[in-house]
Structure 1
């Protein structure tokens, strides 16, 4: 899976060195001219030319990774998202959210490039980008510098753990639907409990290379499973006129949260760009990001649209749960998706563990065995996601919750804030400072999606127990 790329690139540069460079080098940067000299006469620095990668990917490989990383629980949840929006609102809304997410990724990557030039570093992590942007941004925002990296990491960790919760619910629900046909039906929580030890075992693997073969297997069976799902969807498809074009307005925030969860992949996209042989080809009108996100958005619209036409208000948190329960092929699809998601759980948990361990724990542990503490952290991550999933097994609501809670900020508000801070020293906001006003609007959109989406998702989770 492409998620692993986030862990295989160049690590963040030494912190003290970066802080020194930020104070020393000041570069005037525009999108069209990289010929400006620094204030101390040092020649212009191109971060792309200084990246040293052991196994860089070309444009085609990067595009494949981007497409491959989109075929998971997100795309399977799109019919339920369209149920919350209606066919017309869902189609237009998904396209608009796709455009918004893609644009904000361009903003973030472009801002990181400018920061890397100022620091004369090949790569910056997302948390470091926020920190060093705020240091040179508006003075009234600099109070947030000490906590900025922690806040970004907090949202990243919360999102990764949220994905793990969704995965546990998905696997438990899928296994339940199959086994209920052959044994006495049980609550899906019991199947989640049976998963606990296997999840702990796979999460104790510290070497990603050991997971690589399993990841490739997950990719293959995911493609096969999605093809079979689409065959069921287009078999005896009801007329489009049988579904409403506009859904209930109150549920639009659930649609936005689910679609953000499905479409927004800021961590994966940054990792892919960082691992490219020709990173300059990632952006641009016909670059890898635009081509990939266009294809992904259209796939999500198609699955959401026709999946909702097929199953209507019965559309569940994953379209696989709508497949015929007695059909052996449908049962096989549910099981192979369960296996694929089980393997991917280890990769998603690995990202959260990597952030917590390497950034906050490893250097602070003096009197304890570090290997033992890391294993304890890995077990704790599984237990936290397991307890949350078992306590509140509401798959579709959790997908919407974590999309609204984390990705509205990570994918929309933070990139806009970083761009404001990066352009602030040179006041390079264009005619009438339109870039500044555009970024302020994006921040407002991100915050509104965060507040309203989280509120309604939590409210619906509480109501589901009444």
Structure 2
């Protein structure tokens, strides 16, 4: 099974799937064309639950306190709960459509991209049937942009935390007092730290051995779990009176909240392969509802408590608000280590879509060189993106608004309409699907606009959202 349980087959291993390159069978983590897991080898309920939780807990979780600040102390938790419920509902829609299409086509399994293509092939509209393959291309493109966006966010997150750890080392003590506001001039630009991380990530993504990557995955899980425990241990201590915090923020910052919130729910693409790999796939609905309930509760608790704890001083990542002592500096180090190794796992999604397609265009003697070159180029692309836009909070909101909202809220309802429209759908279901898609589209358009507007403002704009001003 996949290291992350993600749907690496949502985009085909080759974009047109006409031929398989020699490298497609080497180091593959993709899940296409696999049959349902045999009972002896399939995932148990607990294993599936762990995969589900692991795929939804990343850097987006640490940005939720700032998201709550952008929405308001009352509006934020309610809106996050609503977005979570809608996202889970769209996951269920995707599962139902994939199951229906696999039965109709007598296939054992269809991926996200295949489901979109197959539904268009059988829809009443002749033009859509003719161009059905673009449904798969669209999903593949969105997966590529979303995952590379995640990787860019990882660059910023690691650089932010590394900069703070290095430049505050001389002030770090054993006395864990709350972080004080102090305007500092960074010793080295944040971009220097990004470039320092770059060669190590390039070497990391060269590793294609599944067994070795699974070791890194386990290390990432351990460090992430340990750092999350310390974060919660700190924020529940002496929470200030929240009466001074606004219950509702302005609509402009709420749009940034939407992008950040939808960014954190990144598990839509992995529900199909996880279900396919269970010993008893019919039990996946229980796992999905249980796992996503835990995720939503964790999101609301961390976001709300974090905002109540730090108030107007809340930064783009809650780790940047932690006290300047060795204990909580270790939290930044542990979480950064976890994110470093998770980068290689998230990177496999665009790599498994792009690399086989590129390799299929060259001779076999160039396979290894092209493989490594494309990997290097993709890592450099995420680094350049992070260097050009060194605002962690806004990039999270932008990626969430553009790609995550499409995969999580816009496409699944449309997929249900196309799949079941010819089978006497009720007017209520049609109206519900249209409303969810319109909501996702509005969030995508206005959230993207607001994120881009904030990005072109001078760097000191909304200084409390930046990450270099507290000591």
Preserved contact between residue 71 and residue 223 of structure 1 (Cα < 8 Å): no
Preserved contact between residue 307 and residue 319 of structure 1 (Cα < 8 Å): yes
What RMSD, in angstroms, separates the aligned Cα atoms of the two structures? 2.5
> Which whole-Å CA distance do the structure 1 matches of 2:129 and 2:443 have between them?
25
> Which whole-Å CA distance do the structure 1 matches of 2:400 and 2:317 have between them?
15
Preserved contact between residue 113 and residue 140 of structure 2 (Cα < 8 Å): yes
Preserved contact between residue 2 and residue 268 of structure 1 (Cα < 8 Å): no
> Which whole-Å CA distance do the structure 2 matches of 1:9 and 1:84 have between them?
35
Note if 1:390 corresponds to 2:376. Answer: no
When residues 361 and 17 of structure 1 are mapped into structure 2, their CA distance, relative to the original with a 3 A threshold, is: closer
Q: How does 1:32-431 map to 2 (within 5 A)?
A: 51-53=36-38, 55-139=41-125, 141-142=128-129, 144-182=131-169, 185-283=187-285, 287-325=286-324, 327-358=325-356, 360-366=357-363, 369-426=366-423, 428-430=424-426
Q: Residue 456 of structure 2 aligns to a residue in which SS?
A: helix
> Which whole-Å CA distance do the structure 1 matches of 2:374 and 2:425 have between them?
44
Deviation at 1:89, TM superposition (A): 0.4
Preserved contact between residue 165 and residue 389 of structure 1 (Cα < 8 Å): yes
Please list the CA deviations of residues 208-230 of structure 1 after superposition, one character each: whole Å capped at 9, or x if unmatched.
22111111011011111011111
When residues 144 and 451 of structure 1 are mapped into structure 2, their CA distance, relative to the original with a 3 A threshold, is: farther
| Structure 2 runs not aligned, ≥5 long | 19-33, 171-185, 462-471
Deviation at 1:264, TM superposition (A): 3.5
> Which whole-Å CA distance do the structure 2 matches of 1:65 and 1:172 have between them?
27
Preserved contact between residue 404 and residue 449 of structure 1 (Cα < 8 Å): yes
Shift >4 Å, 4+ stretches:
7-18
> Which whole-Å CA distance do the structure 1 matches of 2:61 and 2:240 have between them?
21
If the length of structure 1 is used for normalisation, what is the TM-score?
0.87
> Which whole-Å CA distance do the structure 1 matches of 2:389 and 2:240 have between them?
33
Q: Residue 369 of structure 1 aligns to a residue in which SS?
A: helix
| Structure 1 runs not aligned, ≥5 long | 19-48
Q: State which drifts further: 3-12 or 173-182.
A: 3-12
Q: How many residues are paired up? A: 428
Deviation at 1:315, TM superposition (A): 1.2
Q: Residue 137 of structure 1 aligns to a residue in which SS?
A: coil
Please list the CA deviations of residues 109-166 of structure 1 after superposition, one character each: whole Å capped at 9, or x if unmatched.
1000000001111111111111110111230543542322111111100000000000
Which of 425, 447, 452 aligns to 1:458? It is 452
Preserved contact between residue 164 and residue 345 of structure 1 (Cα < 8 Å): yes
When residues 3 and 303 of structure 1 are mapped into structure 2, their CA distance, relative to the original with a 3 A threshold, is: farther
Deviation at 1:266, TM superposition (A): 1.0
Deviation at 1:234, TM superposition (A): 1.4
